[in-house]
Amino acid sequence: MDEIADARKEKIDPSLAWKLISGQSRVFIGKGKKILEFQPDEGNREEILKAAMGRSGNLRAPALKTGDKVLIGYNEEIYSYL
């Protein structure tokens, strides 16, 4: 089942973001021209959330969960990981 959430209407705070990220094998975060790649676990939780959350305290957009991967933030190259 597909699920769509509009971050302008539904806040995705760090605890909810971690629920989305933690069960996946990889998370890719686009920050400008850089792409950060992580294997989520409790040891790097804070580092991942620091990169994944925007200044407003909401999950950076866009965020896409596909298979066992999560893509967060805008970077054209990041979509080659689909």
User: Is residue 8 domain-resident?
Assistant: no
User: Is residue 21 domain-resident?
Assistant: yes
Q: What is the pTM of this model?
A: 0.86
Give the DSSP letter string of the chain.
------TTTS---HHHHHHHHHTSSEEEEEETTEEEEE---GGGHHHHHHHHB-TTSSB-S-EEEETTEEEES--GGGGGG-
User: Is residue 65 domain-resident?
Assistant: yes
User: Is residue 22 domain-resident?
Assistant: yes
Q: Is the dihedral of CA 4, 5, 8, 9 positive or negative?
A: positive
Our count of domains for the chain comes to 1
User: Is residue 4 domain-resident?
Assistant: no
State which residues form the domain around 39. 14-76
pLDDT tens per residue across span 35-44:
999 999 999 9
pLDDT tens per residue across span 14-53:
999 999 999 999 999 998 889 999 999 999 999 999 999 9
